[in-house]
Amino acid sequence: MSRIEIIHGDITKQAVDAIVNAANCSLLGGGGVDGAIHRAAGPELLAECRTLHGCETGKAKITRGYRLPAKYVIHTPGPVWRGGTHREDELLASCYRSCLTLADENGCKTVDFPSISTGVYAFPVERAAGIAIRTIGAFLADHPAIERVRMVCFDSRTRAAYDAALREWEARA
């Protein structure tokens, strides 16, 4: 059984140990999934984020989940797509690794990700999905304490891209 799953849904509704926020470098909120997470978590989340003094692209920082059903939120700024020649692939892989490292260090067994960078940041979704699944798969192979990682997809095109990437990864593994 694969420890990676793809679902269609709203990440703010998931009762898991940690959800990931596709944040921006300020960590002070934004649109898309970031705005939805801050609205659902309440103002205490923004107050904790203010103490973190931002985050570099490809790195991650953890907070509590406050009014969310998830215990923690792991905030990671993904790369803005600039044609693929500005280390976007490497930075996107680094987001997934940084988040999973923090999750593991904090004892999280279940982690849900949104599709980092494929909204406003315009990273091509099929390419992002391949990077996400390969990076998560490689991390899980070395970290048995994490029981399940899900990609929570907000629309059917995103879901199809991650389903295809997971099938490809499982066929190779």
Residues that bind ligand ADP (CB under 6 A): 10-12, 22, 32-34, 36, 78, 114-121, 152, 154-155, 158
Cα separation, 58 vs 171, in Å, equals 28
Q: Sheet containing 72-77: which strands, arranged edge to edge?
A: 4-8, 148-153, 110-113, 18-23, 72-77, 61-64
The closest of 84, 78, 59 to 119, measured between CA atoms, is 78
Indicate which residues carry an active-site annotation.
34
Q: Name which of 80 and 138 has its Cβ closer to ligand ADP.
A: 80
Task: Return all residues near 41 (Cβ < 8 A) that are at least 6 apart.
Answer: 12, 65, 66, 67, 68, 73
Q: Name which of 119 and 137 has its Cβ closer to ligand ADP.
A: 119
The distance of closest approach from Cβ of residue 115 to ligand ADP in the complex, given in angstroms and rounded to an integer, is 4
Pairing of strands 72-77, 18-23: parallel
The distance of closest approach from Cβ of residue 63 to ligand ADP in the complex, given in angstroms and rounded to an integer, is 17
Q: Name which of 17 and 34 has its Cβ closer to ligand ADP.
A: 34
Q: Name which of 10 and 173 has its Cβ closer to ligand ADP.
A: 10
The distance of closest approach from Cβ of residue 2 to ligand ADP in the complex, given in angstroms and rounded to an integer, is 21
Secondary structure element (H or E) that encloses residue 5, with its range: strand 4-8
The distance of closest approach from Cβ of residue 141 to ligand ADP in the complex, given in angstroms and rounded to an integer, is 26
